[in-house]
Amino acid sequence: MKLVRFWEPAANEPVWGVVEGDGVYQLVGNPYDGIRATRAGHPLSSVRLLAPCAPSKIVCGGLNYVGHAREANLPIPKVSACFFKPPTTIVGHGEAIEYPPQTKRLEYEAELAVVVKRKMRNTPPEEVLDCVLGYTCGNDVTARDIQVEGGNLLNLSVSKSFDTFNPVGPWLVTDLDPHSLNMTLSVSGQVRQKSSTSDMIFPVEVMLSYFSSIMTLLPGDLIMTGTPEGIGQMQVGDVCELTIDGIGTLSNPIVAASSAQTATPTVSVARRAG
């Protein structure tokens, strides 16, 4: 099942829906309380998709792929590292990633993103997947030069916390096995990252279980599960596209921050289908 958030002009607010074929049917309330579709349908091509989550927090797992650890010349970690991004970093499919003037090196990081369905606290690994609402594509955008300032990781959160630095979408897929999903990220048509979630050091259930032993995860919280090898730069004018098997394609243009308010995304509706 594909779940979306989209803008409902009549209600002047975001609403949840379920995708069926080429249509979207509005849900009653939100999917955390159960999925109940109404007969209020719209053509998929006519709705403005939003990020498929509105989290209280974004928890990011770091250094979670064997290939990326080798690329960074770092040892394989024993426990999952994590950091946080503010919810204001979130944008949806087709929305612009802003290139802020504070950085000279803007980079992509392709990731499988997970949205929590129910409250999690000290949840054992074997129960974690039942607590997941769905999976989507995520891009942990990073100002790499800011991250490495001073020769330490004290600026990690700063480098990843600018507005628009966490695109997710285009929708949530609820019935998906997250353990062996191929992912490909391209920048303006050139493939830059190509890997599989089978290369994860800490699979989804291990990572989320560990995070829940530290903090309470709430319905709607977004978990970013780390990036594979191949991280690199984006420039103004590029279009960054991440495709994950079973989910589809997340596409976002890169624009200068000063022009972000007037930028027009160049993503077609057909591309949204992945």
Confidence band of 131 (pLDDT split at 50, 70, 90): very high
> Tens digits of per-residue pLDDT, 38-77?
887 899 999 999 999 999 999 999 899 999 988 888 899 9
The Cα–Cα gap between 69 and 63 comes to: 6
Give the per-residue pLDDT at 33. Answer: 86
pTM: 0.92
Confidence band of 273 (pLDDT split at 50, 70, 90): very low
Q: For residue 68, give the H/E element and its range.
A: helix 66-71
Contact between 64 and 37 (Cβ < 8 Å): no
Contact between 31 and 3 (Cβ < 8 Å): yes
Give the per-residue pLDDT at 195. Answer: 96
The Cα–Cα gap between 226 and 181 comes to: 14
Mean pLDDT across 14-27: 94
Give the per-residue pLDDT at 71. Answer: 87
- Check pLDDT > 80 for residue 88: yes
Beta-sheet strands, E only, within the chain: 2-8, 13-20, 23-27, 37-43, 49-50, 58-62, 81-85, 90-91, 97-99, 106-108, 110-116, 132-139, 142-143, 166-173, 182-187, 190-196, 222-224, 232-234, 239-244, 248-256
Contact between 154 and 146 (Cβ < 8 Å): no
- Check pLDDT > 70 for residue 172: yes
Residue 35's identity, in one-letter code, is: I
Confidence band of 263 (pLDDT split at 50, 70, 90): very low
> Tens digits of per-residue pLDDT, 176-198?
999 999 999 999 999 999 999 99
Which residue do the tokens 């928890």 mark?
Answer: 59
| Percent above pLDDT 90 for the chain | 78
Exposure b/e, 66-98, CB count within 10 A at least 16 = b: bebbeeeeeeeeeebebbebbbebbbbbbbbbb
Give the per-residue pLDDT at 164. Answer: 98
- Check pLDDT > 90 for residue 171: yes
The torsion defined by the Cα of 128, 131, 136 and 142, in degrees rounded to 10, comes to -70
Domains and CATH numbers, the chain: 1-50 (2.30.30.370), 51-260 (3.90.850.10)
Mean pLDDT across 23-30: 92
Please give the residue that has the higher pLDDT: either 268 or 138. 138
Average pLDDT, the chain: 92
Contact between 236 and 254 (Cβ < 8 Å): yes
Query: Which segments of 85-233 does DSSP mark as H helices, in order?
Result: 125-128, 144-147, 156-159, 204-214
